[in-house]
Amino acid sequence: MKKKPLVIAMAIALNGTALGLTALSFTVAAEESKAPIIQQDVQKKLITTEFDEVLVSATRVSEKASETSRSVAVVGEEQLAVAQASSVADALKNEANITLTNGPRASSQGVEIRGLSGDRVLQTIDGARQNTSSGHRGSYFMDPELLKSIEVLRGPASSLWGSGALGGVVAQNTKSAQDFLAANETFGGYFKQGYETNGSRTKTSGAIYGQQDSIDWVLNGSYTDSNNIKTGNDETLNNSASNGSSGLAKLGWQADEASRLELSARVNKTNELVPSNPAAAVSSSVPLVRRKTDDQNITVNYSFNPANNPYLDTKMQVYWNSTDYDEDRITKGQQDSTEYRTVGINLNNSSRLGSTLLTYGVDGYRDTIETQRDDSGQVGQRPGDIDGETTVLGAFTRADIELTKTLNLDAGLRYDRYKNDSNNLNLSSDDNELSPSLGLIWQTQSWLTLSARYDQAFRAPTVEEMFSSGTHYCIPPIPGFLPQGLCNTFATNPDLKSETARNKEIKADLRFSELAGDDELALTFNIFRNDVDDFIVQQVSNPWRGIPGFEQTTSWNNVEDARLTGFEISSRYRIGQTHLAMNYGQTHGEDRKSGDDIEGIPANKFNVDLSQGIMDGDMKLGTRVTYVATQSNTPDGFKVAKYEDYTLWDVYVAWEPTMGAMAGVRVDFAIENIGDEQYLQAWQTLQQPGRNMKLSARYMF
């Protein structure tokens, strides 16, 4: 059985983030002075161990993070185990320029990348698109327990993935039997129990898996149950309890050395009593709902890669997604439902032509959405039902060209055609987009790689944005002024254009080893400018008698041209069993026409993580400090002038003996937000969770 090297834990007080930065800069400066020695020395240079992540799906080719011109963050299986994260977004919250959105309720949390979130960030699971467009509802359903890694592309990636990859891609990779079993093992399993003090959250999970001859399989599942969350200063967030279950089944057949067929199915169910907008508190406009969410997926993958044929590395994928939201608006006595369906196919191949790797393919998908809005007790005052579909067909190519031994070029081009249909309104709209990209990678020294790239991307408007109808909200009668009241109704906008982005980026990647013996250093710096045109924004207009606040219509319109600029810097250093990781990210957003700040841009964030392995690596102790700066770049007249800074301190420990009677056992313990800090994340309305102690124990057999 494969035993993962042990992880992390108990409190090491970190005395000063500034000291850590100073130490790092001193180290880098020192290494610059040693550069000639490093160049002369026979390959003490590039990291070839744990700092050399291999991307599986996010860039559609296998390449190391140090060798791609894109900005990439990878959260691996060990990091996921240490984090004991309650959601995918929670697992990514410590990465530079990646922010958790939609409040503290795990079921509704989303991911923001460089100031862009929601439909502007594409989500994939094992390469299959997840196209649920949920408004205030959650759309990240994968239990981190079932994942072996999460890869995040920061920045536009439509030349690879098409619509939606305006801000980046969150690629989730699930576990297979080979991730649990060694080559000579045929069967195994595990049982795991977890508990968190904040919300008294319990989680029970387990799996069985096997491989025999050419067949491998895994069955994995989990169940969670939690009470109300406590925010900082021991205050309770009402209506934040939930329970849910998830499962994953995968069956693989290695027909021969070149061919593999894999079938996977997963399901996630959540039951909760929450505000209709879980990122807000219950109010007259945000009623309490009993929401049941059922998300399912079936994916079939086939790969063909004969060893002696440089022209064939073929992958084909067919997938089906289903997401249902059933909502009992208990304060209104109304029953609503929303159903999303996606059927998609991907087909691509890579061919080696001399010094060029050419990847090309086609893909397409069909999304359908059907909603039922119950207007019992509010006749004529609810949104109209939606019955619509989106059809997208795309073709792409990417060329990775070795110009010289130290200079490489990657060029991509994708064409997409999409069509939105409203079946109930008998309306239709179609358009097309071209998404080019260009990257240049220069390995100036064996320890230094520089790159520059340009990407264009787009996000097509959704059926809901184009063809919503019915009533948005109503203002009750005002005697002597508005005796009949006033209702604001949706206006369709079939002329809505795609959001588009043009991103320019420069990257430097430094990798060293054996600087002071058994050690490694990795340092990556990215700077970017992303110009986003035709932001799609929901607006109210046509005020009754010209009086603000009494608008009569709502529509989605292309209104804003934004410029997003910023950078991220990340570093990792290991000497022996001591690990130090630091990252910093900042993004600034402004309206290109007026020069004013725009809302929704995250505050600058700095994170440092220090861990020490002991007991021959069977145990690690670690601590983490996150500092989030004041965010005062708010639009003029915005209701909050600034969001205050805050500092969070966590400690963690992990124990996983590799030998002896306790082999197969793993215990993780962590305390998050030790100081019980009460803090408000920029642009959110709810306080975040307070102190939380996490404990999980796993036994593998």
Residue 54 has pLDDT above 80, yes or no: no
Among 116, 68, 93, 112, smallest CA distance to 526 is for 68
pLDDT digits (tens, 9 = 90+) for 14-51: 333 333 333 333 333 434 443 443 343 433 344 345 67
CB 652 within 8 Å of CB 635: no
CB 650 within 8 Å of CB 669: no
| Structure confidence at residue 67 (pLDDT) | 83
Residue 207 has pLDDT above 60, yes or no: yes
pLDDT digits (tens, 9 = 90+) for 625-667: 999 999 999 988 888 989 999 999 999 999 999 998 899 999 9
pLDDT digits (tens, 9 = 90+) for 96-122: 999 999 999 999 999 999 999 999 999
List Cα–Cα distances, 448 to 69, 248, 445, 509, 572, in angstroms.
13, 41, 5, 6, 15
What single-letter DSSP state applies at residue 688? P
Structure tokens at 296: 């399912």
Q: Cα separation of 546 and 523, whole Å?
A: 57
E-only strand ranges, 255-355: 259-275, 288-304, 314-329, 334-353
Among 448, 583, 450, smallest CA distance to 24 is for 583
Residue 75 has pLDDT above 90, yes or no: yes
> Per-residue pLDDT averaged across 389-405, rounded?
96
| Structure confidence at residue 176 (pLDDT) | 94
Backbone angles phi, psi at 407, to 5 degrees: -130, 125
Among 257, 222, 209, smallest CA distance to 86 is for 222
Backbone angles phi, psi at 40, to 5 degrees: -75, -35
Element (H, E) at 359: strand 356-372
| Structure confidence at residue 6 (pLDDT) | 32
Q: Cα separation of 57 and 151, whole Å?
A: 8
Residue 279 has pLDDT above 70, yes or no: yes
Mean pLDDT of the chain: 90
CB 197 within 8 Å of CB 673: no
Structure tokens at 49: 């161990």
Residue 241 has pLDDT above 90, yes or no: yes
Tell me the pLDDT band of 675, cut-offs 50, 70 and 90.
very high
Tell me the pLDDT band of 540, cut-offs 50, 70 and 90.
very high
Q: Cα separation of 113 and 168, whole Å?
A: 7
pTM: 0.90
Q: Cα separation of 176 and 192, whole Å?
A: 17
Where helices occur in 124-265 by DSSP H, the ranges are 158-161
pLDDT digits (tens, 9 = 90+) for 542-599: 999 999 989 999 999 998 899 999 999 999 999 999 999 999 999 999 999 889 999 9
Domains and CATH numbers, the chain: 17-700 (2.40.170.20)
Per DSSP bridges, beta strands 665-672 and 605-614 are unpaired
What single-letter DSSP state applies at residue 545? G
| Structure confidence at residue 639 (pLDDT) | 85
Backbone angles phi, psi at 23, to 5 degrees: -65, -40
What single-letter DSSP state applies at residue 65? G
Coil, helix or strand at residue 19: helix
Exposed/middle/buried for residue 107 (C-beta within 10 Å: 0-12, 13-18, 19+): buried
Q: Cα separation of 140 and 150, whole Å?
A: 12
pLDDT digits (tens, 9 = 90+) for 341-384: 999 999 999 999 999 999 999 999 999 999 999 999 999 899 99
Buried b (16+ CB within 10 A) or exposed e, 624-644: bbbbbbebebbeeeeeeeebe
Tell me the pLDDT band of 197, cut-offs 50, 70 and 90.
very high
Q: Which of 82-86, 265-269, 388-392, 483-487 has the lowest mean pLDDT?
A: 483-487
Residue 325 has pLDDT above 50, yes or no: yes
Q: Cα separation of 466 and 496, whole Å?
A: 7
Report the percentage of the chain scoring pLDDT > 70: 92
| Structure confidence at residue 133 (pLDDT) | 79
